[in-house]
Amino acid sequence: MAKIPFQIKPVQLLNDLEELTQATPIHNATWYRARQIKSGLGYEFAAGTLAAAQYLTLDLLCSGPEAGAFVLELQEGEDGPTFQYLFAALPQASARLRVPLAAVRQNRWMYPREGALLKPRVSGQRVNLGRVNRMRVLVNMMGAGPVEWCMTPVLATVDEPLELDQPVLPNGPLIDELGQSIQRQWEGKSASAEEVTSRLQSQLEAAPQQTWPEGFSTWGGWTGKQFEASGFFRTEWDGSRWWLVDPDGYVFWSAGQDCVAPNVSANITHMESALSWIPGEDDPLREIIYERNSELDVKFIDHLQANFIRAFGTEDWYAKWVEITLAELKRDGFNTVANWSDWRAARHAGFPYVRPLNIHNASRVQRIYRELPDVFAREFEAEAAEFASQLTETRDDPAMIGYFMMNEPTWGFAQETPAVGMLLNTTKCASRQALSDFLRERYGDDDGLSAAWGQEVIGAEVAEGEWTTPLSQTALDDLADFSAILVGRYFGMLSKACKKVDPNHLNLGIRYHTVPPQWALDGMRSFDVFSINCYKEQVPADDLKAIHELLNMPTMIGEWHMGALDVGLPATGVGPRVIDQEARAQAYRFYLENAAAIPHCVGVHHFTHYDQSALGRFDGEAYNIGFYDICNRPYEVLVQAAREAHARMYAVALGEAEPYSAAPEFLPRFFY
């Protein structure tokens, strides 16, 4: 066995990877060029080599205008299970990867961003380090051109490697004083603070004249069709399609914009040198720098706020932002301030909104797999009540459409079900005892369970203790069935507690990251509206119909977008990539109008109002996914397309008009 720490050097170049010979800005690194995804470096070593290690680490730097998106894979043999650690790196800034090998247990999905190292997270399968004998570092996604990067050999260690406290910046700072990329030029890039101030003042002057499209009700519903008014938003199945109904009884189809908030923050922890300008201690703009987690010393800067403060001053900028932004939403035809937004500003203005609940506010019981709590613990009922208490503030507000209980639970991203994850990660909890009881009821005794699972199984070992025995297909099927029970109890108890506090508003579900598998759907019957985040070219009508038939509820899309690489951002977003902003406009109309034509869909919420920071948000995402850039400049072609789509959406939903059909060319996705 190798003595730790030790270097692991590649033994082969995979696919079309080229090794380059020029000097590198990082010591002991080598340049590589890849022209296709899954190109990269292959490593081989004796099984068990990594068993005593705690971390893998390497330094890298991506050249070119786009972020590099990679995956580090560990595999048991040529055909064995494969663990994946996904990560990305900002262009033109060095980064350090630090992989905790405990991650192979799959009990955590996301790890903190560190400097130019972006959005590290876990995927793939659980592996045993004692059997891992190969590793790969591959290009996972690619933008418009080849990926070039330099990288050091991989180092295996016991001690946690030091964070990289200052990146190498071969071309100097990355971000200008307005929050824009210095490294790139594009049409529409703001030239000065004076230009931005003039734009904001013009938007403020125009704000009183901005209105929703003709025919919209006071709440953004459609005056051409009306049901019974309840004073709050509700759902209605009219025999042929689902609707939301506004407080005055008019049909309402929710065209929403996520992240409507004066917050386009960039994580500058260990990245201060990437800024061309930082306000001094006595500068009124100093308030744009803040700490989100003082214990971890995580620092942020918000150039959007700086741009508004320059225009309107430290006392008035927020009120002016609210006035401008709600007016711009009406100009664009949006009738919903959607998730992650400044919903209190919408509430004050009587603008329809949704609000997210904070699942982290309640944590009385242990987590049994990722963030899933021990729902059979006696204390969980009190945790559910504490969670629901957040709704007290808005229970009587007619402008609130409803609430999302959570967003994209991370156990949903795992290849294993929650019950499998619990069995393999949590040695003692009430839910494991409940699993043992469930299996006893299904199979009678240990002999029956052993016969069904094809191995000797003792119920007491299911209830408590470290589980190391491989699971048969029958065992996995039983654990999927119990996962449905876990999920049903989890959401059922939360939903009941929420309705007790707030009987007036719609429970909009949990914004699952895709259409859930059957075992998860079976546990999701307690919502009023089923919500998914759907990053596809268009909403899958058959899937929404199936949800309607199984759960008897409508579906809302909580997130979607399309992005391009033509406006200075280093990646394009989770949705399909398109060539430019005109194509984004086509994609918007195509997605929204075709969704409105689906009788089981009651709305789609675009993610997000603003582009993300070119330096990367808290986790490193830096995507062109906004209607407005960091300087509050609208992508006018996109705005006009949205206005046209929103003006037509009720006619499309009523079957009086055909949805827009001119889809743009969709290019390979590029995100991390």
User: Residue 416: which pLDDT band, with cuts at 50, 70 and 90?
Assistant: very high
Asked if residue 38 lies in contact with residue 72, where contact means CB atoms within 8 angstroms, the answer is: no
- Look at residue 370 in the predicted model and tell me its pLDDT: 97
Q: What mean pLDDT comes out for the span 177-198?
A: 97
Residues 166-175: tens digit of each pLDDT: 999 999 999 9
- What is the C-alpha to C-alpha distance for residues 89 and 564, in angstroms, rounded to an integer? 18
Q: What mean pLDDT comes out for the span 441-464?
A: 96
Residues 492-527: tens digit of each pLDDT: 999 999 999 999 999 999 999 999 999 999 899 999
457 phi, psi to nearest 5 deg: -135, 135
Asked if residue 80 lies in contact with residue 131, where contact means CB atoms within 8 angstroms, the answer is: yes
Instruction: Give the DSSP per-residue string, 387-436.
Output: HHGGGGGGTT-TTEEEEES-S--GGGGSSS-HHHHHHHH-SB-HHHHHHH
Q: Which two tokens stand for residue 306?
A: 């700086």
Eight-state DSSP code of residue 158: S
β 18-20/117-124 pair status: unpaired
Q: What mean pLDDT comes out for the span 286-306?
A: 89
> For residue 612, is it left (φ>0), alpha (ψ between -120 and 50) or beta?
beta
- What is the C-alpha to C-alpha distance for residues 473 and 335, in angstroms, rounded to an integer? 48
Q: What mean pLDDT comes out for the span 636-661?
A: 98
- Look at residue 121 in the predicted model and tell me its pLDDT: 98
- Look at residue 4 in the predicted model and tell me its pLDDT: 84
Percent of the chain residues topping a pLDDT of 70: 99
Cβ neighbours for 498, distance < 8 A, ≥ 6 positions apart: 357, 387, 388, 391, 403, 405, 507
Where are the domains positioned within the chain?
Answer: 6-157
Eight-state DSSP code of residue 610: B
User: Residue 252: which pLDDT band, with cuts at 50, 70 and 90?
Assistant: very high
81 phi, psi to nearest 5 deg: -60, 150
Q: What is the mean pLDDT of the chain?
A: 97
- Look at residue 239 in the predicted model and tell me its pLDDT: 97
Q: What mean pLDDT comes out for the span 360-384?
A: 93
Domain 6-157 carries which CATH code? 2.60.120.260
Give the long-range contacts of residues 496-499, CB within 8 A, separation 24 or more: 496/384, 496/526, 497/381, 497/384, 497/385, 497/387, 497/388, 498/357, 498/387, 498/388, 498/391, 498/403, 498/405
Peptide bond before 82: cis, by omega within 30 degrees of 0?
Answer: no
β 147-151/55-62 pair status: antiparallel
CA atoms within 13 A on the CB side of 615: 33
- Look at residue 360 in the predicted model and tell me its pLDDT: 80
- What is the C-alpha to C-alpha distance for residues 555 and 384, in angstroms, rounded to an integer? 24
- Residue 274: C-alpha distances to residues 114, 180, 499, 586, 622 (Å): 14, 12, 48, 35, 15
Peptide bond before 517: cis, by omega within 30 degrees of 0?
Answer: no
User: Residue 294: which pLDDT band, with cuts at 50, 70 and 90?
Assistant: low
Q: What mean pLDDT comes out for the span 618-624?
A: 98
- What is the C-alpha to C-alpha distance for residues 266 and 306, in angstroms, rounded to an integer? 12
- What is the C-alpha to C-alpha distance for residues 650 and 440, in angstroms, rounded to an integer? 53
- What is the C-alpha to C-alpha distance for residues 232 and 249, in angstroms, rounded to an integer? 9
Check whether 566 has a pLDDT greater than 60: yes
Does the global pTM surpass 0.75?
yes
- What is the C-alpha to C-alpha distance for residues 53 and 101, in angstroms, rounded to an integer? 7
- What is the C-alpha to C-alpha distance for residues 29 and 149, in angstroms, rounded to an integer? 10
- Look at residue 344 in the predicted model and tell me its pLDDT: 98
- Look at residue 297 in the predicted model and tell me its pLDDT: 83
Q: What mean pLDDT comes out for the span 563-573?
A: 98
Which stretch of DSSP H or E encloses residue 195? Answer: helix 193-206
How many other C-beta atoms can be found within 10 angstroms of the C-beta atom of residue 313?
Answer: 11
- What is the C-alpha to C-alpha distance for residues 117 and 136, in angstroms, rounded to an integer? 18
- Look at residue 363 in the predicted model and tell me its pLDDT: 78
- What is the C-alpha to C-alpha distance for residues 16 and 416, in angstroms, rounded to an integer? 33
Residues 134-176: tens digit of each pLDDT: 999 999 999 999 999 999 999 999 999 999 999 999 999 999 9
Q: What mean pLDDT comes out for the span 570-599?
A: 98
User: Residue 457: which pLDDT band, with cuts at 50, 70 and 90?
Assistant: very high
- What is the C-alpha to C-alpha distance for residues 270 and 77, in angstroms, rounded to an integer? 38
Nearest in space to 125 (alpha carbons), one of 427, 456, 470: 470
Check whether 14 has a pLDDT greater than 80: yes
Check whether 670 has a pLDDT greater than 60: yes
Query: What's CA 125's distance to the chain center, in Å?
Result: 21
Q: What mean pLDDT comes out for the span 325-349?
A: 98
Asked if residue 529 lies in contact with residue 506, where contact means CB atoms within 8 angstroms, the answer is: yes
User: Residue 295: which pLDDT band, with cuts at 50, 70 and 90?
Assistant: low
Residues 49-97: tens digit of each pLDDT: 999 999 999 999 999 999 999 999 999 999 999 999 999 999 999 999 9
User: Residue 296: which pLDDT band, with cuts at 50, 70 and 90?
Assistant: low
